[in-house]
Amino acid sequence: MSGNYHESRLIEDKRRTGVWSALWQYYFRHRITPDDCVLDLGAGYGDFINSVTASRRIALDKWPGMRQHVAPDVETIVGPVEDLAAVEDHTVDFAFASNLFEHLSQQALVSVLASLQEKLSDRGRLTILQPNYRYAFREYFDDYTHVTAYSHVSLTDLMTAHGWEVLEVHPRFLPLSIKSRLPTWKMLVGAYLHSPFKPLGKQMLIVARPVRHHA
């Protein structure tokens, strides 16, 4: 991301921290065990990784300011997400990318996916949360750092074409942004996650694993 992105588009917002706390309580804590190694790609302010309970937590972002926001026991790697050399092979059980891949070229995304295949453990998974262009096309490029557009169909097809088995696809997982006027109370986030009706859902969630795990 370029320029003073964290001073314009992605400013610090305590509401974001509250949303991630709710997401951990109602969703992610059921998918991450205390023994897991968790890698947060494009960690930003650390809202996701700080909420996680796991034996090892790693935050990666090219923004040096990340280090001022993550918890003291979170390992930090400052650098481009395409470079995962600092992460040991076959050690990551849960890799997570939130609102990241739309900021990368398709070539860069393919590079990240290839690198991740070597970093994930035998039970490792990649979970992606990001805008779904099919439902967010009107505001998708309001963020000047968005460079590629993916729907739940195109991203799934791209991953399948590059050696991934897609396990879950949730086209309307969450509303698009805390910049909206929607309240961010923890109980409402939980209710939204459990509701079968998501008319305002514009972010998708995809879970996948490398095909090599089942060769």
Is pLDDT at 110 greater than 90 in this prediction? yes
Query: Model pTM?
Result: 0.88
Instruction: Give the CATH number, domain containing residue 142.
Output: 3.40.50.150
User: What is the predicted pLDDT for the residue at 187?
Assistant: 67
- Mean residue pLDDT of the chain comes to 88
Is pLDDT at 57 greater than 70 in this prediction? yes
Query: What digits encode the pLDDT tens for the residues 136-179?
Result: 999 999 998 999 999 999 999 999 999 999 999 999 999 866 44
59 near 43, Cβ under 8 Å? yes
Tokens standing for residue 196? 């079968």
Number of domains the chain contains: 1
106-119 helix and 152-161 helix, angle to the nearest 10 degrees: 60
Which domain covers residue 43, as residue numbers?
A: 5-214
Q: What share of the chain is helix, strand, coil (3-state, %, to 5)?
A: 35, 25, 40
Is pLDDT at 181 greater than 70 in this prediction? no
User: What is the predicted pLDDT for the residue at 5?
Assistant: 46
Q: Label residues 135-150 b or e (16+ Cβ within 10 Å = b).
A: bbeeebeebeebebbb
Geometric angle at alpha carbon 172, from 107 and 154, rounded to 5°: 30
How sure is the predictor about 184, in pLDDT bands with cuts at 50, 70 and 90? Answer: low
Q: Between these two residues, 120 and 20, which has the higher pLDDT value?
A: 120
How sure is the predictor about 44, in pLDDT bands with cuts at 50, 70 and 90? Answer: very high
d(CA 78, CA 41): 11
Rounded percentage of the chain residues whose pLDDT exceeds 90: 73
Geometric angle at alpha carbon 28, from 195 and 94, rounded to 5°: 140
Q: Between these two residues, 20 and 91, which has the higher pLDDT value?
A: 91
Q: Where are the beta strands (DSSP E) in 99-202?
A: 120-131, 164-174
Residue 124 phi/psi, 5° resolution?
-70, 150
Is pLDDT at 79 greater than 90 in this prediction? yes
CA 142 to the chain's CA centroid: 20
d(CA 176, CA 118): 31
How sure is the predictor about 213, in pLDDT bands with cuts at 50, 70 and 90? Answer: very low
